[in-house]
Amino acid sequence: MRLTFVHCTNRAYADTQMFGIHFMPVWAYTLAAHLEALPDVQLVLFDDRFEARATIGEADLFLFTGINQDFEAIAQLGEELRLRFPRAKYAIGGPVCWSFQTAGKIERLARFDYVFVGDGEEALPEFILALKSGRPVPRIIAAPQRFDLSKALPMHRRLLAQTVHRYYGAIVEVSRGCPFLCEFCDIRVLPDNNRSHIKDPALIVSELDALWDLNVRQVLFACDNFIGSHGWAEDVCDAIHAWMQATGKRMSLYTWLTIDLSRHPRLLSKLRMAGFDMFFIGVESFNRSSLLETAKLQNTALGMAEAVRGIQSYGFIVVAGLIMGFDTDPDDITEVMLDGILRSGLISGDPSLLTALPGTPLYKRMQLSGRLRDAKLGLGGFKYQTNIKYLRPVDRIRADFKSFVRRFNQGAYQYSRLLAFYSCMEAPQYQPPRTSGYADLRRLLRLVFRNSRYLYLLVLRFAMLVRSPVRVFYILRAVILTLRKHSSQRPHWFYLKFWLFNWSNSILKYSSLSDADFDIDSVESNFNRENILPLGYEESSEEQVAASKVRAQRNATVKALKIFIGQGH
């Protein structure tokens, strides 16, 4: 059997949001490892970001996966291949399948012969054996539970060796699941996903060692929350540090985790010693009511700005997830967010608009209150496209967002961000970077220079920066500031490059932002405010989560929204 893994993306999104930075399709290397032992199965990886569609060869099975924003591109390529190879079978899995099933839109996947819902490590080999033997196979194949990551295999070495050089660094999946219950997050709704499912630290280290031998120096640890199990996170750090000490090899590591890391100085120090230099953290909002509304309770247990500064004081860069569009956002939310970013010393992260993901309590609340709109389940054609009818008027949301990004990109504001970040590094616990950093601009530039489209975006990025005399003035001020503060123990140039890269990204992304870039909506003028908390919202869900935890989340959301409704905003 000839099997082709097809990685297909929304190219418009990739061009306008990723600026030529491509990450490896870790799903293909992972599943391929679990197929290696099957007899007479030939595995091929096709990635449309690097290969022309006409080069796809004949196969018996084409396997697709993707996130919601990629669905139209996936479906189009699937139809093209079906015309060329009508005898082949076409299957799809991944997050897009879970989303469509949960939203009651599984029929949108009817063009595929088989649909996988859930983890594929065990389901896919069984499926292929059934196909090869001629046994009947159901069209929708649902994994009954999460895959036991203690049974995980190393990524497929041959595919890695053939293709990893195309990507910016590598991705190693290390865990699944998160113990928190944020109202808007769909991590919680996957079966048995409200806890950490973890890989053996020894396997993680072996993956790093193999990637080093393939000349990889930047690695993203993919997970839902790296510190969902603090003890395991420390064990991973200890194993990596021991490997570094024994071999002299050092990787630059980046991962996703939660703000409560700030309360664990020992873990912070171990993460630094293991080579981590950057974290994505869902800060979401600097408005406390917005966090309480969505039960982001871990973000309210401490001062947000102080927590971010505490993490960055060790030398880490925090890439912040920021969201606007919560029901309890105040009229001055733009000021609140801009002020919070400055107080935190954040040099990375810009906002998105709240979306109700299928299966989440937020989706249920919007559905019960008649506030769901018929929109795509992902981006495509618009910079901002959401499925919620917001309480605040559309024109005000658009105006606030445009005002935010205009002021966000002003030279004086960006310089103040950098100044605030530099002040974090004056703490005694600061540890200098030991690698070139996960955001290695030299490697980024090498990748960009391979593609004329991304080279054009690079030139455009530079031109937009320097065409404003005010921006040039603040860039020069930043260079002088960095010269004054830089030392071997506090290498500020390391951070200046990242700050400038992110600022230029933001200018490129938002320079021509207009009303036409928004596909959003608001409630009707006669909307009954009592429906902000609709009947039935507090009822128990079908999630595989302890009932007491679900009640705690609902209670936090209900309490915050009742206060908001009572205030009559």
The backbone torsions φ and ψ at residue 108, rounded to the nearest 5 degrees and listed phi first, read -65, -15
pLDDT surpasses 70 at 35:
yes
AA identity, residue 518: F
> Alpha helices, DSSP H only, in 280-355?
288-293, 304-312, 333-344
- pLDDT given at position 461: 81
Distances in Å between the Cα of 541 and the Cα atoms of 184, 247, 545, 546 are: 14, 50, 9, 10
Give the pLDDT mean for 368-392: 79
- pLDDT given at position 68: 83
How many residues make up the chain in this entry?
A: 569
What pTM did the predictor assign? 0.93
pLDDT surpasses 50 at 218:
yes
Cβ 295 vs Cβ 262: under 8 Å = no
- Average pLDDT along the chain: 91
Q: What are the tens digits of pLDDT across the range 109-127? A: 999 999 999 999 999 999 9
Closest of 36, 351, 29 to residue 171, by C-alpha: 29
285 vs 69, residue with greater confidence? 285
- pLDDT given at position 12: 65
Beta strands in 35-173 (DSSP E): 42-47, 61-65, 89-93, 114-117, 140-142, 170-173
AA identity, residue 345: G
* Helix 469-485 with 452-466: angle, nearest 10 deg: 90
The C-alpha atoms of residue 434 and residue 251 are separated, in whole angstroms, by 9
- Residue 137: CB partners within 8 Å, gap ≥ 6? 114, 127, 130, 131
The C-alpha atoms of residue 110 and residue 481 are separated, in whole angstroms, by 58
547 vs 86, residue with greater confidence? 86
pLDDT surpasses 60 at 569:
no
Secondary structure of residue 9 in the 3-state scheme: coil
β-sheet bridge partners, residue 63: 5, 91
Distances in Å between the Cα of 567 and the Cα atoms of 160, 328, 563 are: 57, 11, 6
Q: What percent of the chain has pLDDT over 90?
A: 73
450 vs 480, residue with greater confidence? 480
The C-alpha atoms of residue 18 and residue 26 are separated, in whole angstroms, by 17
pLDDT surpasses 90 at 437:
no
With DSSP H G I counted as helix, E B as strand and the rest as coil, what are the percentages for the chain, rounded to 5?
A: 50, 15, 40
- pLDDT given at position 18: 57
Domain residues of the chain, as ranges? 2-142, 281-527+553-569
pLDDT surpasses 90 at 228:
yes
- Assign 70 a pLDDT band (cuts: 50, 70, 90): confident
Closest of 283, 410, 407, 394 to residue 334, by C-alpha: 407
pLDDT surpasses 80 at 567:
no
pLDDT surpasses 60 at 16:
no
- pLDDT given at position 8: 92
CATH class for domain 2-142? alpha beta
Give the pLDDT mean for 179-197: 90
Cβ 276 vs Cβ 254: under 8 Å = yes
pLDDT surpasses 70 at 364:
yes
pLDDT surpasses 80 at 346:
yes
pLDDT surpasses 70 at 133:
yes
Give the pLDDT mean for 227-252: 97
- pLDDT given at position 376: 60
- pLDDT given at position 381: 47
Give the pLDDT mean for 536-555: 82
Q: What are the tens digits of pLDDT across the range 148-176? A: 999 999 999 999 999 999 998 899 999 99
- Residue 463: CB partners within 8 Å, gap ≥ 6? none
Q: Is 561 exposed, middle or buried (0-12, 13-18, 19+ CB in 10 A)?
A: buried
pLDDT surpasses 90 at 550:
no
pLDDT surpasses 70 at 380:
no
Give the pLDDT mean for 373-392: 75
- Assign 317 a pLDDT band (cuts: 50, 70, 90): very high
The pair of three-digit structure tokens given for residue 537, joined into one six-digit string: 């919202």
- Assign 17 a pLDDT band (cuts: 50, 70, 90): low
